[in-house]
Amino acid sequence: MNIQQLQYYISVATYQNFTKAANAHYISQTAITQQMQALETNLGIKLIDRSKRPIELTNAGKTFLQEAMAIVERYEYAVQKTKEASQGTGGTLRIGFIRGYERSSLSNYLKEFHDSHPNIFITCYREDSDTLAAGLLNGDYDLIFTWDSTNIKTEENVKSDFVENVPFYVALNTSHPFAQRKILTRKDLANQTNLYYTHAKSRFSYGDQAYMELYRQAGYEPDIVFESSNPETILMMVAANEGISILPSYVTSKLVDAENIVFIPLVGENEHEPIIRVWKSNNENELLSSFLHFIQGQK
């Protein structure tokens, strides 16, 4: 028994006529009759009552028809999904992003890609940058959007490209003396209690060292009393007037009615956060190429 025999059987049952069923499949009446006989022999059950005009299914044949239709439908669905996956038009794409980046324009790109590729299921993972890097190398994600805390670009079989430079803002309690400023520099923040926001698990990462150098260039070492890779935690502490924090604009720009907090632009050379997207060159998911081409076309 095979799928083709089941398809022939469904046609015979539909037309109640061997000749019409044969014509529907562009084969001879003899051929389809032989296929039905082979099917019945294989099952050891009589499916078709040939003594009737038009021919009819036996009771067993009627039951088998329902099962045959379900099998053929499932088979055709599997074939379609397989073709879609091979052509990059169906399947699952796994995307990781740093905490807070859900407020960026990434969500718009994902929606537009989903609208143009409705058969693709996009799964999203919000993590710290270290977890994202390890997960990409381990094959947990197809693509990550990250701030490079681990120098992942130097890893074997890794490819990346630049996404954007995100400006920094200083988060202050509304009672802070600087709350009415239009802009601030890093030098202005000397002697301030610092709630350090990092995308990594600690401020001693490869990426964080570049920002520590900006403090040194401003003439001081920051007084870091607390650090976290969770922007919501940092914002809660700023609102409680526990200190100030420097945050990328995607964390701050979409906040509405941030109680007890103001955000002041941080100006100066290199006062921005570079975001990159990273993937493995040996990733076999066809959808990754489709998404990368889509993103590049949106620039």
Name, in order, each residue with C-beta under 8 angstroms of 161's C-beta and a sequence gap of 6 or more: 276, 277
Q: Distance between CA 204 and CA 111 in Å, rounded?
A: 35
Residue 223 has what pLDDT?
95
Q: Distance between CA 210 and CA 224 in Å, rounded?
A: 16
Q: In terms of DSSP H, where are the helices of the chain?
A: 3-15, 18-24, 29-43, 59-86, 106-116, 129-138, 206-217, 231-239, 249-252, 286-297
Residue 1 has what pLDDT?
80
**pLDDT tens-digit readout, 152-193:** 988 999 999 999 999 999 999 999 999 999 999 999 999 999
Please tell me whether residue 147 adopts helix, strand or coil conformation.
coil
**pLDDT tens-digit readout, 244-268:** 999 999 999 877 667 899 999 999 9
In the chain, the percentage of residues whose pLDDT exceeds 90 is 72
Q: How many CA atoms lie within 13 A of 71 on its CB side?
A: 15
**Whole-model pTM?**
0.69
- pLDDT band at 50, cuts 50/70/90? very high
What average pLDDT does the structure give for the chain? 90
Average pLDDT of the residues in 261-276: 95
Residue 55 has what pLDDT?
92
Residue 23 has what pLDDT?
92
Average pLDDT of the residues in 26-54: 92
Residue 87 has what pLDDT?
57
Comparing 159 with 290, which gets the higher pLDDT?
159
Structural domains for the chain: 3-86 (1.10.10.10), 91-163+275-297 (3.40.190.10), 166-272 (3.40.190.10)
Whether residue 59 is predicted with pLDDT greater than 60 in this model: the reply is yes
Average pLDDT of the residues in 30-43: 93
Which residue in 290, 275, 274, 286 sits closest to 116, CA to CA? 290
Average pLDDT of the residues in 215-232: 94
Residue 85 has what pLDDT?
61
Residue 276 has what pLDDT?
95
Whether residue 299 is predicted with pLDDT greater than 60 in this model: the reply is no
Whether residue 202 is predicted with pLDDT greater than 80 in this model: the reply is no
**pLDDT tens-digit readout, 62-119:** 999 999 999 999 888 787 767 666 655 568 899 999 999 998 889 888 999 988 888 7
User: Kindly report the CA angle at 236 between 233 and 240, in degrees rounded to 5?
Assistant: 140
